[in-house]
């Protein structure tokens, strides 16, 4: 499959994810792209798409985030990003595929166990936010799949839905803004190659709109199950392939 078609599909998919499909579908993007290209290339080329998606989401949730949680998570998240980029730029592709496979299966495990998190009696500590931020930053740098740690942490905090989404939007926008210059400096992302993909950006708002429409019609449980099966298949394939 040609890279132009791959990136067009990826841009449309990012729009669907930002339109509300959730963390599991978002974690599926890089594993699927990695069947067509090197892991580092898949992570790098989807970064500009995610940044555009983040900017579309930010005005919708402006000032609705939890500042305390962000102050705890963002510094640790930046440290996680820097460590993740170091590995991404130094490990051979076969090792990255094993790491990506493990992250994919971790996302599946998170989703399967997330329903029980809301019933846990939880006492918040600052280090929980640090750990969640670091884990999400690290996984975001390695695979653009940092949702499980931060989502689990915020779910335990019992945030209201809008505050929950707003906090994740600001966190991942910050992580992606940090990743961009670091990816360019380390050579993970080639500026010339990134420019060639700019034509696909209009597909992101289209995906956002269709994602919202899709969610109004689809059976959420069946959709989540389908996504989990795909993500588990991708994770196992990356580990064993």
Query: What is the domain count for the chain?
Result: 1
Q: 3-state class of 187 per DSSP?
A: coil
Q: Worst-scoring range by mean pLDDT, 3-7, 61-65, 131-135?
A: 3-7
Measured distance CA(8)–CA(14) in Å, rounded:
10
Q: How confident is the model at residue 119 (pLDDT cuts 50, 70, 90)?
A: low
Mean confidence (pLDDT) of the chain: 80
3-state secondary structure of 216: coil
pLDDT digits (tens, 9 = 90+) for 22-69: 655 677 788 778 877 888 888 888 888 888 888 877 887 788 888 999
DSSP string, 2-13: -HHHHHHHHHHH
Q: For 179-234, write each residue's pLDDT tens digit.
A: 999 999 888 888 887 787 788 888 888 887 777 676 667 676 676 677 677 778 77
**Confidence category of residue 82, pLDDT binned at 50, 70, 90:** very high
Percentage, residues of the chain above pLDDT 90: 13
How confident is the model at residue 223, as a pLDDT? 63
By the 8 A CB rule, do 161 and 59 touch? no
- How many Å from the N-terminal Cα to the C-terminal Cα in the chain? 19
115: confidence class by pLDDT, cuts 50, 70, 90: low
Q: pLDDT value at position 90?
A: 85
| pLDDT over threshold 70, residue 85 | yes
Quick one: pLDDT at residue 79? 96
Average pLDDT on 130-135 reads: 91
155-177 pLDDT tens trace: 777 777 778 778 888 999 999 99
**Using an 8 Å Cβ cutoff, are 73 and 133 in contact?**
yes
Domain around 153: 3-240
Residue 148 CA to residue 73 CA, distance in Å, equals 14
Within 10 angstroms of residue 82's Cβ, the number of other Cβ atoms is 15
For 214, residues 6+ apart whose C-beta sits below 8 A from its C-beta are: 16, 19, 21
């Amino acid at each position: 499959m040609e890279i132009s078609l791959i990136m067009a599909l990826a841009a449309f998919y990012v729009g669907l994810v930002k339109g509300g499909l959730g963390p599991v579908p978002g974690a599926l993007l890089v594993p699927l792209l990695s069947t067509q290209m090197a892991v580092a290339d898949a992570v790098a080329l989807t970064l500009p798409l995610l940044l555009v998606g983040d900017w579309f989401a930010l005005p919708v949730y402006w000032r609705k985030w939890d500042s305390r949680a962000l102050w705890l998570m963002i510094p640790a998240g930046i440290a996680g990003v820097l460590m993740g980029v170091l590995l991404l730029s130094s490990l051979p592709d076969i090792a990255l595929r094993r790491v990506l496979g493990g992250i994919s299966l971790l996302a599946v495990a998170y989703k399967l166990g997330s329903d029980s998190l809301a019933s846990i009696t939880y006492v918040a500590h600052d280090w929980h936010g640090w750990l969640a931020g670091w884990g999400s930053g690290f996984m975001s740098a390695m695979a653009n799949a940092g949702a499980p740690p931060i989502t689990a942490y915020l779910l335990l905090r019992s945030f209201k839905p809008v505050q929950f989404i707003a906090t994740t939007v600001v966190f991942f926008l910050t992580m992606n803004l940090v990743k961009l210059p670091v990816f360019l400096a380390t050579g993970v992302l080639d500026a010339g190659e990134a420019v060639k993909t700019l034509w696909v950006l209009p597909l992101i708002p289209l995906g956002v709109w269709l994602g919202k429409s899709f969610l109004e019609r689809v059976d959420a449980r069946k959709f989540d199950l389908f996504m989990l099966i795909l993500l588990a298949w991708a994770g196992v394939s990356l580990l064993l392939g």
